[in-house]
Amino acid sequence: MSALIRAAALLLCVTIVASTQVVAETGLQAGPPATAADGPGKEILTRKCFQCHQASMWSSLRQDQKAWESVLYRMVGRGALCTEAEISAMAAFLAQTRGTKLP
């Protein structure tokens, strides 16, 4: 039984460390958007993309909204389940925060 408890504790620690790293690298957190300016794209991105990807995989990229949409539709072609509205919201958020011209 103690081995099971240790394994659960280790899994919890790894999850906390990974979540902390994602938040530190991107400012993204699970849950509702922090401000209205973030919009739904941030929450959708967190929920959909972090199932398969770490933030470090794309956080250094700088692209406009059309390029981000292209990436997201390519992910749909690979099995991601996203609606057109979700793709538009995520691409808008990414262009705002990871765009070629940042505010």
pLDDT at 24 over 90: no
- pLDDT-derived band at 1 (thresholds 50, 70, 90) equals low
H-assigned helices in 1-103 = 2-26, 39-49, 65-77, 84-98
Domain encompassing residue 36: 2-98
CATH, residue 83: 1.10.760.10
pLDDT of residue 27: 52
Residue 103 lies in a domain: no
Does residue 11 or residue 39 have the better pLDDT?
39
Cβ distance 48 to 78 under 8 Å?
no
Closest Cα partner for 56 from 98, 86, 88?
98
Residue 56 lies in a domain: yes
Residue 59 lies in a domain: yes
What is the pLDDT of the chain when averaged over all its residues? 73
pLDDT of residue 55: 83
pLDDT at 11 over 90: no
Residue 46 lies in a domain: yes
The CA distance from 7 to 15, in Å, is 12
pLDDT tens digits, one per residue of 25-53: 545 544 433 443 567 899 999 899 988 88
The CA distance from 76 to 69, in Å, is 10
End-to-end, the C-alpha distance of the chain in Å comes to: 54
Structural domains of the chain, count: 1
Residue 31 lies in a domain: yes
Structure-token match 């609606």, residue found: 83
Residue 18 lies in a domain: yes
The CA distance from 33 to 46, in Å, is 10
Tokens describing residue 21: 């790293």
Q: What is the mean pLDDT of residues 8-36?
A: 44
Residue 78 lies in a domain: yes
